[in-house]
Amino acid sequence: MTLRVRQLLIGAGGAVVAVVLLALGLWQMRVFEDREAYNAEARAAQPPVQLVDNLASDGTVGDIYGKQVTVTGRYLPAAEVRVMDADGSVRVVSALRLGDGRVVAIVRGRGPATGELPPAPGGVVEQSGIFLPTEAAADHTVPDGMYASVRLPLLAQAWPRPMIPGFITLNADQASAQALAPAEAVLPTGEGSLQNLGYALQWWVFAAFAVFMTWRFVHVLGRRGRIGSLAEQEET
- Give pLDDT tens digits for 169-188: 999 999 999 999 999 988 87
Mean pLDDT of 41-51: 82
Please give the mean pLDDT across all residues of the chain: 82
The C-alpha angle 127, 148, 176, rounded to 5 degrees, equals 30
- Mean pLDDT across 111-134: 94
What does the pLDDT look like over 186-209, one tens digit per residue? Answer: 887 654 445 555 656 776 777 777
Integer angstrom CA distances of residue 202 from 19, 25, 39, 193, 196:
14, 7, 23, 14, 10
**Model pTM?**
0.66
pLDDT tens for 63-87 read 888 899 999 999 998 899 999 999 9
Torsion, Cα 99 100 104 106, to 10 degrees, reads 0
